[in-house]
């Protein structure tokens, strides 16, 4: 399977005085066209920093320390600013939790869409207007002409989020990075937005990196799931395997504490202990203080890398959970 987006060993740190926060600590994954990878983890584990790093948007005092991002095989971090700007919003677009951070409050919705279209294409003004109305109509926003002339404060949260998706998809991107796209919305609006995103994936073959706390959303949309803890991916597998056969003790704790998949829209439950501070080097597995499965290697060895523990199922753990019905890992 060819990948459209590939992230290799990405590291992001924030530097505050002599403190360094390792927000993303060597993350790798790949995304294929038309597939959805969900990135799941507790607050502060580095999900947003990772998403921002993909498009070189990490704000100061943060910076991308190392790693590579490939879009269609091209090294994004080696591109000049103009090339990255052309990529952003066109081939790869982002949807954030809070439309206020993505929409300009003093520009009408239509002007914002037209601005994006004209920044990335050479279409005429009337053509940009036509594309704008079509994009709003695709989001099933009622009376697109009226919405185009409205300002964000005229619209409800759900409508603003649909406008954000119209903006994110008007140029038919190949990848959408959606960072908690529905967590500010009520359940009904959430369902509409997620259905729309999933429809775009299916009809346009868009690849989606979906960042969420909500295991109901993961169960409903994701093909593949990456569980992030303290700046690293600690487990990655198909959604079914993660839910039914978690291997990392952290993921197993999340799944055991979760409300049932058949009761959607319920959130990650806290598990015993608290997430570590991401300061300084990580000499050992960051989950050690909270782990009931720790063995002596966990205390004496550095944090283990992701390894295949069953077929296409990866975990970063010295003592992964045993699952009797796992297919064996392939031999290296
Ligand atoms: N601008 C910043 N300055 C300093 N530290 C930051 C900044 N942004 C994020 N961090 C730190 O980086 C770490 C990862 O933050 P990030 O926002 O990426 O996590 P997250 O997984 O997206 O959390 P949430 O689920 O709450 O959105 C946290 O420890 C956070 O405090
Ligand atoms: S490496 Fe050891 S401490 Fe870390 S999650 Fe696995 S068993 Fe627990
Ligand atoms: Mg975040």
pLDDT tens for each residue of 69-112: 999 999 999 999 999 999 998 899 999 888 777 899 999 999 99
Answer yes or no: is the C-beta of 36 below 6 A from any ligand 1 atom.
Answer: no
Answer yes or no: is the C-beta of 249 below 6 A from any ligand 2 atom.
Answer: yes
d(Cα 221, Cα 48) in Å, to the nearest integer? 19
Q: Which residue's CA lies nearest to atom 14 of ligand 1?
A: 46
Answer yes or no: is the C-beta of 45 below 6 A from any ligand 1 atom.
Answer: yes
- Give the tokens for residue 104: 């300009």
Average pLDDT over residues 106-128: 95
Residue 102: predicted pLDDT: 80
d(Cα 34, Cα 32) in Å, to the nearest integer? 6
Q: Is the pLDDT of residue 275 over 80?
A: no
- Give the whole-number percent of the chain exceeding pLDDT 90: 69
Beta carbons of 266 and 258 less than 8 angstroms apart: yes
Q: Is the pLDDT of residue 258 over 80?
A: no
Q: Per-domain residue ranges for the chain?
A: 1-91+173-280, 101-170
Answer yes or no: is the C-beta of 317 below 6 A from any ligand 2 atom.
Answer: yes
Using the mean position of ligand 1's atoms as its centre, give its distance from the Cα of residue 290 in Å.
21
Q: Which residue's CA lies nearest to atom 1 of ligand 2?
A: 317
Using the mean position of ligand 1's atoms as its centre, give its distance from the Cα of residue 211 in Å.
13
Average pLDDT over residues 298-311: 94
Answer yes or no: is the C-beta of 319 below 6 A from any ligand 2 atom.
Answer: yes
Answer yes or no: is the C-beta of 21 below 6 A from any ligand 1 atom.
Answer: yes
Residue 308: predicted pLDDT: 96
Mean pLDDT across the chain, nearest whole number?
89
Answer yes or no: is the C-beta of 23 below 6 A from any ligand 1 atom.
Answer: yes
**Which of 12, 14, 17, 182 has the most ligand 1 atoms within 8 A of CB, as the residue to mutate?**
14
Pick the CATH number of 1-91+173-280 from 3.50.7.10, 3.50.50.60, 3.40.50.720, 3.40.50.300: 3.40.50.300
pLDDT digits (tens, 9 = 90+) for 307-324: 999 999 999 999 999 877
Confidence of residue 281 (pLDDT cuts 50, 70, 90): low
């Amino acid at each position: 399977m060819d990948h459209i987006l590939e992230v290799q060993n990405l590291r992001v740190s924030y530097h505050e005085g002599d403190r360094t926060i390792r927000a993303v600590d060597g993350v790798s994954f790949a995304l294929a066209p038309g597939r959805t990878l969900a990135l799941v983890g507790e607050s502060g584990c580095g999900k947003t920093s990772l998403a921002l790093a993909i498009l070189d948007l990490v704000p100061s005092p943060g910076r991308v320390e190392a790693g590579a991002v490939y879009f269609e095989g091209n090294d994004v971090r080696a591109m000049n600013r103009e090339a990255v700007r052309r990529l952003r919003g066109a081939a790869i677009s982002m949807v954030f939790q809070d439309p206020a951070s993505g929409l300009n409050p003093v520009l009408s919705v239509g002007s914002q869409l037209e601005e994006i279209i004209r920044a990335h294409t050479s279409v005429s003004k009337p053509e940009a207007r036509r594309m704008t109305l079509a994009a709003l109509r695709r989001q099933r926003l009622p009376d697109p002409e009226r919405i185009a002339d409205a300002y964000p404060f005229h619209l409800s949260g759900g409508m603003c989020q649909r406008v954000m998706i119209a903006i994110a998809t008007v140029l038919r991107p190949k990848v959408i990075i959606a960072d908690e796209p529905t967590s500010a919305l009520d359940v009904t609006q959430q369902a509409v937005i997620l259905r729309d995103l999933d429809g775009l994936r299916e009809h346009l073959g868009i690849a989606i990196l979906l960042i969420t706390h909500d295991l109901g959303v993961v169960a409903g949309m994701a093909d593949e799931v990456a569980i992030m803890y303290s700046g690293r991916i600690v487990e990655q597998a198909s959604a079914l395997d993660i839910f039914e056969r978690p291997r990392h003790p952290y993921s197993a704790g999340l799944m055991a504490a979760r409300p049932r998949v058949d009761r959607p829209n319920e959130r990650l439950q806290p598990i015993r202990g608290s997430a570590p501070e991401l300061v300084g080097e990580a000499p050992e597995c960051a989950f050690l203080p909270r782990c009931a499965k720790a063995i002596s290697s966990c205390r004496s060895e550095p944090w283990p890398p992701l390894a295949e523990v069953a077929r296409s199922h990866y975990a970063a753990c010295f003592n992964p959970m045993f699952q009797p019905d796992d297919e064996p890992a392939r031999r290296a």
